[in-house]
Amino acid sequence: GQNIDQPTEMTATEGAIVQINCTYQTSGFNGLFWYQQHAGEAPTFLSYNVLDGLEEKGRFSSFLSRSKGYSYLLLKELQMKDSASYLCAVTVVGGFKTIFGAGTRLFVKA
Amino acid sequence: KAGVTQTPRYLIKTRGQQVTLSCSPISGHRSVSWYQQTPGQGLQFLFEYFSETQRNKGNFPGRFSGRQFSNSRSEMNVSTLELGDSALYLCASSFSGRVDNEQFFGPGTRLTVL
């Protein structure tokens, strides 16, 4: 079976750093995506990890530990526009489908 | 390059009716996936199509069906609508549907069942 867990909501302050965790239990795990979704908009791609380690892309970084079934998305120098839902999603080998977690709503306050 | 388009953007139906939603992928993309999004549940996978073939299906009742045309456009149909079908239906396209392909999402169709 497949199970993905993320915190439901998080609040952080503008300019700060926030880490959004995602744990998964998935048969045939292949890789892990992070998507950002602003309210009323479509999800947009942030990152994809297939190997263990940290991938940095500007203010956003994503980490994966395959052995622990764990990933996190790190957002630095938070801006008000980062207020959004962050969706963790896993893909399985040969599955032709992406399994999404319920998402974490991030509120950035001044 | 035009993005993924979905029509209609909003629909209001009553219980028992049926509905057809349409999705046009990005030009050159051959894989289309459909998702149902509800508050608290997140995105639930409905099905994926590639070259007019359904390659995978989620855990939804048979009232949910779909198809893909030779130009990669896709439709999904929900018959005998229930109140619980009220949701945002998103389609996403990718080049080949490979597990490492980034998906590009359309704006969604907001379905309300009364």
Of residues A58 and B42, more confidently modeled: A58
The tokens for A59 are 């203010």
Average pLDDT over residues B54-76: 96
| pLDDT tens readout for residues B76-110 | 999 999 999 999 999 999 998 777 889 999 999 99
Q: Which residues of B20-29 are buried (b: 16+ CB within 10 A; e: fewer)?
A: ebebbbbeeb
Question: pLDDT grade, residue B1 (50/70/90)?
Answer: low
Q: Which residues of B81-107 are buried (b: 16+ CB within 10 A; e: fewer)?
A: beeebbbbbbbbbbeebebebebbbbb
Report pLDDT for A1.
65
Average pLDDT of chain B, as a whole number: 94
pLDDT tens for each residue of chain A, 110 residues long = 679 999 999 999 999 999 999 999 988 899 999 999 999 899 999 999 999 999 999 999 999 999 999 999 999 999 999 999 999 999 988 778 889 999 999 999 99
Residue B24 pLDDT > 90: yes
**Which of A96, A99, A100 would you mutate first to test chain B, the one with the most B CBs within 10 A?**
A96
Residue A8: how many other CB atoms lie within 10 Å:
10
Report pLDDT for B39.
84
Establish if A32 touches chain B: CB-CB under 8 angstroms.
no
With CB atoms and an 8 Å threshold, state whether B97 touches A50. Answer: no
Q: What is the DSSP letter of B84?
A: G
Q: Which of residues 47-86 of A touch B (CB under 8 A)?
A: 48, 50
Report pLDDT for B23.
98
Of residues B2 and A53, more confidently modeled: A53
With CB atoms and an 8 Å threshold, state whether A98 touches B107. Answer: no
Report pLDDT for A47.
96
